[in-house]
Chains A and B, each alone.
Chain A
């Protein structure tokens, strides 16, 4: 019975981690940007959604949508105010661009975290569940919301798969991740593709933030930990590899759930970190990464 419960809980948590991480990895794969303000953007989505429901009495679905739109807006602001100026700056040597974007988004993430802390305090907030009530899956009492989250995550992952592999825009994204210069030579505007990626990224991060808030609850103190967990998953799976990130999300999700149930909830984050270090020693490019 307990084994089943671990299976079900772990599945829901892992799908949530997957959604949180694939935007991050897509961004790196196509734009070469590691966005360390990732947790901050999830936080904005969660807190604005919560604020809409508390202040204006928005229903669970409306507040989720408002939260996702807020996440999208935060993603655009990150791109236009922080990342793009750094990419275009002439004073920054090209080979140091990466470290500047890391530092810049890190600072931006701190500004978001402190700003949100100031506006909404650091009390954890929980969004209303999208589906109230509990149901029974082969004898395990499971909140309906948990099931809905897992289903929703996989629908979005499926939609993203179709978008990337079956549409014209998706093929442009793939091409940009393989050879951006070649794509430019074929007459495609690279900056337009970047904006598309930041749009997809904002929607994914917003959704992840909103779902996380309705599952666990989110506080502004979590921003750093959220970024770190997405970063861990993405590196474990291999930078830029979306399937790798999904596999890694399940490894981390189950490792955490098993530890929490079988050993002690306080040790929850540790096994995932140890797995990460072990994998990086044996396979520095991550599980499914390419060099």
Chain B
């Protein structure tokens, strides 16, 4: 632990917490994980597929929350990182590499993209940076369409391998990936490192004046967010069997990720999972009303940010905190 991190833990008010095994939140989390893990035995196969996608979406949302809620960076282009991971992995798979190597390669591509995005983030503020990320997505879409002979263009790129053809196995892959990502990201967000990151997001000058290395923490946040987004994008590609602009890179997907985080509660990491499941499930349930379902989902999210700006999980935590 560096001295700066030790300082941050000292600054934090020390409240006496019950032992780890006595906390109800832990048991609740374990119960939810157990319920999720045995889902293939009681859930209809159709919903297994729905949840599989929702879980990957949950990882997208958590990685976005790390940048937005903690590092304070308005990243309108999470799909830039996801797309790089998905297409990086897909291209390697088409070149004949096995899935595990492709996943590593896809994640590495996304991390390089994350560093590219971090460069302007260190110079630009708020809306200016937001626009650069937006432009990054538009340029990636253009690049995919222009090099259609390699990437499949708007139709999408087929990959020869898939994770599994068994719905339950696919579900477990997604669920395991979600749980591991959630533990790592949530743990980090609650660590001294997460607190410093939050400080740099809220006031970077003051954080720097306190002796924290702002650049190092921001870069690390971008790399982590990119790593998880890219890995999730790559896994989603091998689940679907295709990498496609419509499902992984398009701006509407970026908007859905933002909605998921704001709905679930920003700065909570875990809220993103809630938001992602809500979004994907609702999209399925509202399918009978056709194209209007996007309208209803956007309206619900708008109502949430108007009346419960902390999001569902943030609201619940605040209630408990004040009670």
The residues of A with any CB-CB pair to B shorter than 8 Å are 34, 82, 85-86, 89, 91-92, 95, 98-100, 102-104, 106-108, 110-111, 114-115, 117-118, 224, 228, 231-232, 235, 239, 266-267, 269-270, 273-274, 276-277, 280-281, 284, 286
Closest to B295 in A: A114
Are B291's CB and A280's CB within 8 A?
no
B310 within 8 A of A: yes
Query: Of B127, B262, B291, which one neighbours A103 at CB under 8 angstroms?
Result: B262
Q: Given contacts A85-B306, A92-B309, A280-B128, are A111 and B146 in contact (CB under 8 A)? A: no
Given contacts A34-B127, A86-B306, A95-B202, 20 further A-B contacts (CB under 8 A): A82-B306, A98-B127, A99-B74, A107-B299, A107-B301, A110-B255, A110-B295, A114-B294, A114-B298, A118-B292, A232-B135, A235-B128, A239-B128, A266-B145, A269-B142, A270-B139, A276-B131, A280-B128, A284-B124, A286-B128
A284 to B, closest residue via Cβ: B124
CB-defined contacts of B298 to chain A, threshold 8 Å: 107-108, 110-111, 114
Q: Classify the secondary structure of B's interface with A.
A: helix
Cβ contact of A231, chosen from B134, B252, B291, B292, cutoff 8 A: B134
Please pick, from B74, B146, B306, the residue contacting A104 in the complex, using a CB distance under 8 A.
B306
Cβ A118 vs Cβ B127 within 8 A: no
Query: B211: CB under 8 A from chain A?
Result: no
Q: A104 contacts which chain B residues (CB < 8 A)?
A: 302, 305-306
> Which residues from chain B sit less than 8 Å from chain A, CB to CB?
68, 74, 120, 123-128, 130-132, 134-135, 138-139, 142, 145-146, 202, 251-252, 255, 258-259, 262, 291-292, 294-295, 298-299, 301-302, 305-306, 308-310
- Return the contact of B127 from the options A86, A108, A114, A235 (Cβ within 8 A): A235
On whether A107 and B251 interact (CB within 8 A), knowing A270-B142, A276-B131, A281-B120, the answer reads no
Q: Which residue of A lies closest to B290 (CB)?
A: A118
The A/B interface has a contact count, at CB < 8 Å, of 100
* Least CB distance, B127 to chain A, in whole angstroms: 6
A276 to B139, CA, bound (A): 12
A95–B74 Cα distance when bound, in Å, is 13
Residues in chain A near residue B139, CB distance under 8 A: 270, 273-274
Residues of B near A102 (CB, < 8 A) are 74, 127, 130
- Residues in A with CB closer than 8 Å to B309 are 89, 91-92, 100
Give chain B nearest CB distance to A90 CB in angstroms.
Answer: 10
Q: B295–A111 contact, CB under 8 A?
A: yes
Give the chain B neighbours of A89 by CB distance below 8 A. 306, 309
Does A277 contact B295, Cβ atoms closer than 8 Å? no
A110 touches B120 (CB 8 A): no
What CA separation (Å) do A192 and B231 show in the bound complex? 50
Contact B132 A280 (CB under 8 A): yes
Residue ID in chain B nearest A286 by CB atoms: B128
17 inter-chain pairs at a CB distance below 8 angstroms, sorted by A residue, are A86-B305, A89-B306, A98-B127, A102-B130, A103-B258, A107-B259, A107-B298, A107-B299, A107-B302, A107-B305, A110-B252, A110-B294, A111-B298, A111-B302, A232-B135, A267-B142, A273-B135
Q: Which of A117, A224, A273, A276 contacts B291 (CB 8 A)?
A: A117
A89-B306, A235-B128, A267-B146 known; A106-B255 Cβ under 8 A: yes
Give the complex CA separation of A274 and B127 in angstroms. Answer: 17
- Do residues B120 and A280 form an inter-chain contact, with CB atoms below 8 A? yes
Are the CB atoms of B131 and A235 closer together than 8 Å? Answer: yes
Question: Would you list the 9 A-B pairs with minimal beta carbon distance, nearest first?
Answer: A114-B295, A107-B302, A110-B298, A114-B294, A107-B298, A111-B298, A92-B309, A91-B309, A235-B131
Q: Is the CB of B146 within 8 A of A266?
A: yes
Which residue in chain A gives the minimum CB-CB distance to B203?
A95
Interface pair A284/B127, CB less than 8 Å apart: no
**Docked pose: A266 CA to B127 CA in angstroms:** 28
Contact of A108 among B128, B142, B302 (CB under 8 A): B302
Residues of B within 8 A of A106 (CB): 255, 258
**Distance A92 CA – B311 CA, assembled complex (angstroms):** 11
Interface centre among B120, B255, B294, B298 (most CB of A within 10 A): B298
Taken together as a complex, chains A and B put the C-alpha atoms of A218 and B22 apart, in Å, by 61
Contact at B135–A277, with CB atoms within 8 Å?
Answer: yes
Distance between B309 CB and nearest chain A CB, rounded to angstroms = 5
Smallest CB separation, A143 vs chain B (Å): 29
Contact of B292 among A85, A92, A99, A114 (CB under 8 A): A114
Residues from chain B with a CB closer than 8 A to the CB of A111 are 295, 298-299, 302
In the complex, what distance in Å separates the CA atom of A114 from the CA atom of B295? 6
Question: A228 vs B308: C-alpha distance in the bound complex, in angstroms?
Answer: 28
A118 and B295 contact, CB distance less than 8 A: yes
- Counting chain B CB atoms within 10 Å of each CB, the highest count among A85, A100, A107 belongs to A107
CB distance from A251 to the nearest CB of B (A): 15
State whether A276 touches B258 (Cβ < 8 A).
no
Give the CA-CA distance A232 to B128 in the complex, in Å.
10
A20 to B303, CA, bound (A): 28
Q: Kindly list chain B residues whose C-beta atoms are within 8 Å of the C-beta of A280.
A: 120, 124, 128, 131-132
